[in-house]
Structure formats: C-alpha cells, structure tokens
Amino acid sequence: MSQVKLDRIDRRILRDLQEDGRMTNVELARRAGISAPPCLRRVRALEEAGYIHGYHADIDPEMLGFGVLIFAQVGLVSQAEADLIAFEKLVEGWPEVRECHMLAGETDFLLKIVAHDWDTYNRFLTSQLTAAPNVSNVKSALAIRRSKQEAGVPIDVD
C-alpha cells in the first residue's frame, strides 16, 4: 500500500463516500470542488492506500426476517494467542455473527449476532457458541431498539 497524505479534499471525498457509497464520481467531484478525472484518481489512491476497504448496501435485517439482534460477551478458558486466533477463525464460519471484536478486560470477545427469532438464537448459542472449543462462558444481551447507527468514523473536513 502506498501512503497518501490526506488533505481537505481527500477528507471530503472520504466523508461523502462514507455517507453515500453509490454517489457518482461526477457528484463526488462537484462536492469536493474538483473535476471528475482527478477525483477518480484520488478515490483510486485512497482505495490502494487502504483508507477505503469496500462498498456495500445497508440492508434492513427485519425485511429479510432477522428480527433479533444480540450482543454476546464471550469468555475463553485460555487467552493464548493460538487459542484467540482459533476462536476468530471459528467465528468466521458463522454467518449469523456479523461482527467480532476482541476486547481487553473481563470479556474476551464481543459478538454482534442476528437471528430470525429468540429460539433460533438459542439453538445457535447451545449447539455452536457454547459448544465451541475453549469457550468458558457467554453472556447474551438482546437489543431492544437501535437509536443510532452510523457507518465509519467522524471525518473533519475543515
């Protein structure tokens, strides 16, 4: 990856793409105050440097029948690096786990899990998560409602 020194225009491009990844290059360039060809070159450079990891659609989980969102705090028996990596690789194969974060402190991992309903989650919990090697405990928290969700990070353009 080549290093890109971000200026105001780069930060503006990143902010605008983060808000709307489907924006046309022409619109993106207009907002950044530059013409389309240099804007496209900047976007490609930001992608190659690793600032932009990809583009995706924000899908409504309930529209596809995923009415339950759970945050599971997972404790492991061993925190040896090989055991942590083994757990992370196992989690990669579970499509219902949408995010996995290793934490410092009492909990080893925080998982964001979607399920069709509470019974479906309970089956996943008992047959896969708590049955997984090295898992000592799981604390589940059912999300009641979401009041805020923003992608990415706050980007200051001034």
What pLDDT sits at residue 92?
98
The answer to whether 70 touches 142, Cβ cutoff 8 Å, is: yes
Express each pLDDT in 7-57 by its tens digit: 999 999 999 999 999 999 999 999 999 999 999 999 999 999 999 999 999
In the chain, residues under CATH classification 1.10.10.10 are 8-48
| Global confidence as pTM | 0.87
The answer to whether 109 touches 151, Cβ cutoff 8 Å, is: no
C-alpha pair distances (Å), 75 with each of 65, 80, 110, 128, 143: 29, 13, 9, 14, 20
**Angle at the Cα of 135 (from 92 to 139), degrees rounded to 5?**
95
In the chain, residues under CATH classification 3.30.70.920 are 61-142
What are the backbone angles phi and psi of residue 92, rounded to the nearest 5°? -55, -30
What pLDDT sits at residue 158?
79
Residue 2 pLDDT level (bands cut at 50, 70, 90): low
Residue the block writes with tokens 């990856």: 1
Cα 92 off chain centre by: 13
State the DSSP H helix or E strand holding residue 90, giving kind and residue range, or none if neither.
helix 81-92
Alpha-carbon distance of 87 to 110, in angstroms, equals 12
Which of 7, 11, 49, 51 is CA-nearest to residue 31? 11
CATH architecture observed for domain 8-48: Orthogonal Bundle (1.10)
| 25-32 vs 8-19: helix crossing angle, rounded to 10 | 140
β pairing state of 109-115 and 68-76:
antiparallel
CATH architecture observed for domain 61-142: 2-Layer Sandwich (3.30)
Express each pLDDT in 66-95 by its tens digit: 999 999 999 999 999 999 999 999 999 999
